[in-house]
Amino acid sequence: MAAYMLLCNFTDQGVRNIKEAPSRRAAARELGKKCGVEIKVGYLAIGPYDLVIHVEAPTDEALATFLLSLASKGNVRTTTLKLFAEAEYDKIVGAVA
């Protein structure tokens, strides 16, 4: 499974209903399962992003489905980083011409 980091910001709606965040987090985990995406760990953050979430997905398409489904709820906007583990990184660097 591929790893991704989601850099998230609450929308105005998400902040207005912040007390619902724990139940929204549980719902996001369930939504991820339906899409084949596993939320590994999430963090409340201080800085330019409100949440930082590590997820794993079998394909980019599965992640895209999850992200669009999540965005349609209207509580967060995401920026996505695809991650490469050290072994993958070494393989990529080893293939550099």
pLDDT tens digits, 6-62: 999 999 999 999 999 999 999 999 999 999 999 999 999 999 999 999 999 999 999
CA distance linking residue 51 with residue 66, whole number of Å: 16
Average pLDDT over residues 55-82: 98
Q: What is the per-residue pLDDT for 46?
A: 98
pTM as predicted: 0.91
Q: Which residues contact 27 (CB under 8 A, 6 or more apart)?
A: 73
- Cβ neighbours around 70 below 10 Å, total: 23
Q: In what order do the strands lie in the sheet with 2-10?
A: 38-44, 51-57, 2-10, 76-83
Q: What is the per-residue pLDDT for 36?
A: 98
Indicate the number of domains in the chain: 1
- What residue numbers bound the domain in which 32 lies? 2-94
Instruction: Tell me the CATH number at 21.
Output: 3.30.70.920
Q: What is the per-residue pLDDT for 67?
A: 98
Q: Which residues contact 86 (CB under 8 A, 6 or more apart)?
A: none
Q: What is the per-residue pLDDT for 1?
A: 93
